[in-house]
Structures are given as structure tokens and as C-alpha cells.
A and B are shown apart, each in its own frame.
Chain A
């Protein structure tokens, strides 16, 4: 018998022939907290889905030994019964059910076939008391409580399931500093009681505080497992990045002119948790012809920042934005497009395409009035513009009237780019412009970005792909936990420097 509670060995998992995980090991003792680190898309969440049987036994290779016996679970119910409970990054609460109903969802306490609310509320109070929480009323609907409190309710739910291994996936990404503190203290208590824990986080200072061992994975492969005592956060960053840069970026020289966009003191508050600042007092300038990359970890507040500039942010915000010296009052994307600011949104399917509308008509929706006389669209003018864009962006489509949803991701993205280039913006915001796009289309999109910069368009690009940020940008802003953590000129800039700044370790450069 080994002294490990959980031993995962040689875990591999493929999606359509692409290896997402390749021979990963993870070992956890009772009473131990293992920090699982890796860049966005390294395979952390996939590994946890293998462990919790979201991907059932048989759909992956390798071996999981749980408490001395091989685990061959095929459903989350089985793994939960064994005592493995996962708390996901996005909270899985039913907002209109009460706290107690959420805690006991799927395992309701009944008496003669009816739900015994008194017993459930009493037990919920008991569970919350174990977490030293006394200000949550189990009979109230969950939506009354903030994200941090909901996280604690999730943990109470896990306790009710007699969790022996608690997996926390980015638990603090939506929490305030005080809420984070409470959570970390709680995990320490659990450890003392013998509960095991896997803590997935980009926030390495948190990992350093509570983890006993750290496992780093990169691009689906196991990089190393070491006791935290032997490590520093800088050492973890080096392990996380350590990737070679290939020349995927068709850099072209372009002149950088005077300041065109000036954003001052931008702050945004969370839509669902209005007490939490997601962007905190960020100021920056953007120059004509400049490509400004915005790096940071997922959830750092980058999308909120740029959608505020575009007038598309749904929560509360403040700050001033000036374009060419004139202060703008942007209340909607329409105002922004008219002022000369366009944005290609992050989620193409949700916010970018009109799925059942033709490719061509998708591209012209922002500028239809340009082709109109007395409200009637002059089709020949419109078609000429569409043809020109299709050729310029090399969009592969049999017919410009085919529904855009029938095209590949890369071609859809090019069409969305065309849509936001047709208004001839002076500032173009690109939020994850190459997400879900194949390598060839990526290259063409990069070429397009350089071509735009050459004509004097200022480009603001949010990207979670570090090589992309470093390969494209003239300057890099680093956002971490809603704050501007760095403003680097992209000369001899390393991924380590950027990542260190994003995590909050690096020095602030000018």
C-alpha cells in the first residue's frame, strides 16, 4: 500500500487525434494540497475532467488509483460517491433555489416522499457552521449572495458529499481579496483535518501559500512535480513557459505616429457581483499605426476593459476616453463605430456572426447605409464591396450568399474582421482574434493586422497566447487582477517577464 490517496499515472487523452494530455502524473496524499499550474490551455481542466469522470473511464489512457484501488468511474455520481468533488471555475448554482436546496440538490432529505425543509435547513446551517460561516441564511435564494459566498456554499455542498479530495479550479478568479482570504484559511483548516486538495490557479502567490507540492503541465505534457519548499514562484513560471518560439509572425515595419486614443482611469464593476471591481483604474495611450498587445491571464479583466472602450460593457464603469484629443461619450457600440472605434469580439459564435445570414451580408451589416439610397440597398455596390473584401482577406466561400455558419472558423473570423474593417476605423480592437482559428488563417490574420497598422490604424489586441502577443505587438500592456501591471516596449521582451507581471511578481517597467 502506498501512502497516496490518489495516484494518476500516464494519463493521456486525445480529441479528434490531437493529444490534449500526454502521460501526466499526479499524486496526492491525504491532508496534502497539490498546486496544479500551467498556462491557459495547458490541459489542467482536461486532467480534472478525467479525474472526476466527466470523461468516463475508457475514453482516456492511463491509470487512476484511489485509496489503494483502481478507479474505473464512468460518471460524476460515482466519483462523488468515492469522495472526489470538483468545484468548477464557473459556479454551478441554481440562483432561484434556496441555499439549502442548492446544497442538497440531487440528494434531498425527504420524509415520506416529501422534502423535509426543516431537516435540510438545519443540516445546511450545521455544514456552514463547520466552515465557520454564520451569516448565510439557508432558506434564502442563492442569488442574494455574492460570488465569494456562493463559492463557500459550493464547498458546503462538497462537505455534504463527504469529500475526501476537493478540486478547486480557479476558485478565486471571481472573488474579492477578503473573500479569497477566507477561502484560503478554510483550505488550511481542511488540510489539518486530513482532507486532500488539488488547487488550480494562475495566482501563484496563493499556490505558494497553501500548496505542499506543485505539479506543472505544459501543452498537455508533464513538466515536473516538486515540493513547494524547493520552489519559488519565478521557478514555477519558468517551468510553465519554457516553450520555443517559432517564426509564425510575418512582422512588417510600420511607422508609429502620434497618440490617437487616450484612456484615463478606466474602472469596471462585475455585472453579477457589483461590489467587485474587475478593472481598477487603468490608463493607457495608443498611437497611430501602433499594435498594442494586452496580455494577462483569463479573467484578469482585459475583455471588460476593451468592451468598455467599445461601449459594449454591460456592467457599471467609469473613466474617460479621448480620440484625437476629443473626449468621447460612447454609450453603445453604435456610438463607437461612428466615432471610429471598432471591435472584433472574443466569442465569435455568441457575439460575432449572424449564423443564418450570408457571409457577404454579415460583412456589410455595419455599413449598410453606405450602399443605400432612400433606404433601398444598391445591391451591385454592396456586392462589389463584398467581392473586394473576400479577395483581400482570402475568405474561402463558394458563394458570398452562403450562410456564414457553414464556413470554417478561420473564414468566419475573417468575415467578422471584414465587418469591422469596412467602417474604416481609426482604432481597431481585437479580442482574441485567432481563437479557434487554424494555423494558416492565423498567419493571414496577422498579415492583415500589419497591413492595417501600415495604413495608420491603431490596433489594440487582447490575446491569451503569449507567443502571439510577443510576435505581433509593438508594445505590451499587462493586466493582472484588473490592474495595469506592466507596460513594456516589445524589445527583447520575454514570456517570463510578461507572465511574471501578469501574476504580480515582476517589476513594473516603463
Chain B
């Protein structure tokens, strides 16, 4: 009994990787909760609404990068330039806003466009000229960092306009947060009912009603708890809202659009996809364009959060994004990965950063531990899916 029980539990985890990852998040939070417990006040420093809000805000920028990085890695490529690109685009935003005094909408539109164009350029070099993406984006990493140093003259550009600052530091009013949560839940229930209907119509297996209700109830509780906790501090931070919208859009893009399906097909077997009549080069180029666009979002959020453009912004950001993807179950060999997984991966990384900083762990230890967690997470993924490398 125990062995079959263990087996079915393992099967459940490998089919619902996201649940396994959330369990890991819960364990990390519990650990930090205990370690930061203060007997005098009877509270734990880590487990407060304020820290939760901070934590999410910290992960938002890595999360934005990771959400697009999933597509790049699923397509069988890599982008090492996004940290520098984030810095460059954040710097451009600061110059437009502070030095040139452009209106906010103009600044945002210009930076997003520039990000997409630079990303597409990376993609063009990789897909059409056949230069390996590792090389193209390693070059980009150096070149973009050089460009931001040149543009800013190596100095911090501040202060940005209040409207811009709101993008990184603002909160959503409580009522709006609640409305969003309710709207989201209704949407999820509607989608679940719709899917069931379609699957029944085509005689496909559907989950039992009990399991479905349990799943929706769990998600509902999660969403409700999430919003209540954040509202008990100051509300949902704006960058976190942006990230959640990105999560929704990108998940739909991955699962439900022609483009998303092509990305997974290319990652699974690029040659077979080409022979099926798909324009593989275009798909790859667009994936890099998307990555550039998200680097622009992350650059804007970084500049807004710091209320300044700094030449070192986003340094090492690509590695955090890539690590988040791998922790979240994205396969190095391409073809496998999910946006939600990458974001939970980013949450794990941010929780470690936040918790260890709160405990006053030396920076060098923080890096060592994060490195070990990355390797361990990928090992566990290999073991659980029974996919040893050949």
C-alpha cells in the first residue's frame, strides 16, 4: 500500500509540478518564519504583510524577465543579454523622463518599442544568420552594458517624475484589488466550466466534479488570501499587478495561440517543425522580440522603483531569470516549460534573498546557497520525471 501510495503521490507531483513547487515555497517560508520569530513581540519578521509585499515587489522584475525567458529556453535558445538590455532600456527611460522631460506615455511607448526592436535584432542574428544565441546574446550583454554606460556617462540620473515613480512604487487601492481578485476568480470558474463542456462534447476524459471543485476552491483561497494580505498592508504593488497580467497573457499565449504552439514545436524538434511547413526562423526571431519587450517592462519597473536610472541596473538579471526558469521545471533541451513555473521559480529565488537578508546572512553565503538550490532543484526535477540525461 505504501509503495503504491508513494508512487501515485510521485505521479501526482510530476503531473502537477506547480503544486510541488508551491510546497517548496511553503517550506521555505515556514523555515524563515521560524528563524525570524521574535519571542518578545510574538511575531515573525518574515511572515508579515509588509514583508510579503516587499518580497513580491522584489521578484516582480526577475519575474518579468523569466516569463519571457521561458519562451526563449523552450524554443531551444538562450538569452544572456537581458540584464544589460534591462539596464540600457531603464537608462533610456530615465534620460527621456528626467533630462528631456518627455510625457510618461511617450517614454513608455518609446522604451517598449526599443526593447522589442533590440530583441528582434538578437533574434534575427540567431535565426536568420545562424549565429548561436549563446554567442549573440553574450555579445549583446557586453554591448548593451557599454551603451548604457556611454549614454548615462556612468552617473545616476534622477529624480524621475512622480507619475513614473508610481509605476514602481505605487499600490493599487484596496477596493480595486478586491475587484480584480473577484473578477479573476469568476473568469477562472467560467473557463473551467467551458473547458469541461468542450471536453465532454468531444468525449475526452474530464476531471471528476469533486476534484474540479477542490481545485477551484484551492485557487480561490489562494487568490483571496493573496489580496487580503496585500490589502492589509497598502494594496497590490503596481509592478506585481503588471506581472500578474503578464502571467495571464503569457500562459494563454503558450497554451492557446498558434505562436505558442509553434514555440513548443520548435523546441521539441526544430527540423520536424520546419518540414511541417512552419517558418521556424520567424518563430525564433519573434521569441527574442518578446524577450526584448519584457526587458523593456523590467527596465521601466527598475528605474521607477529606484526613482533613478543607474548604469548598473539589471546587472546579473539574466542569470536570475534563467535560474528561475530552470527551478520552475523548464527543460534545458527545450520543448518543456511553463510561465507559472518560471514565476514560482522567481518567487523561490526572491524568498531566499529576502529571508537570508533579513537574517543577516553574509552576501557570500547567500550566493553559495542560491547556487546550491538551483542545482538541487534541477536534480529533483530530473529524478521526479525519471528523465536521466542520456
Contact = CB atoms under 8 A, between A and B. Distances in A.
Bound together = yes
Interface of A: 310, 312, 332-334, 336-338, 342-343, 345, 350-357, 361, 365-366, 368-369, 372, 375-377, 379-380, 383-384, 387, 399-400, 419-420, 423
A354 B277 contact: no
A368 B269 contact: no
Q: Which 9 A-B pairs have the closest CB atoms?
A: A337-B277, A354-B268, A366-B276, A334-B277, A368-B258, A383-B202, A380-B198, A365-B276, A375-B257
Given A333-B274, A354-B272, A354-B273, A365 B261 contact: yes
Contacts of A376: 252, 256-258
A366 B258 contact: no
Nearest to A343: B275
Given A334-B279, A379-B198, A419-B276, 9 more contacts: A332-B274, A350-B272, A352-B275, A354-B264, A355-B268, A355-B335, A365-B262, A365-B278, A369-B258
B128 interface: no
Given A356-B336, A365-B265, A365-B278, A375 B258 contact: yes
B205 interface: yes
Most buried by A among B261, B277, B336: B277
B259 interface: yes
Nearest to A334: B277
A366 B275 CA distance: 9
Contacts of A420: 276
Contacts of A350: 269, 271-272
B201 interface: yes
Given A338-B277, A384-B202, A419-B276, A377 B268 contact: no
B258 A357 contact: no
B204 interface: yes
A356 B329 CA distance: 14
B275 A312 contact: yes
A337 B262 CA distance: 16
A380 B277 contact: no
B260 to A, nearest CB: 8
Most buried by B among A368, A420, A423: A368
Most buried by B among A337, A379, A419: A379
Nearest to B203: A387
B259 to A, nearest CB: 6
Nearest to B387: A356
A209 B277 CA distance: 46
A383 B198 contact: yes
Contact of B271 (A310, A351, A369, A400): A351
Given A355-B269, A365-B278, A380 B256 contact: no
A352 B272 contact: yes
Contacts of A343: 275
B278 A366 contact: yes
Contacts of A387: 202-203
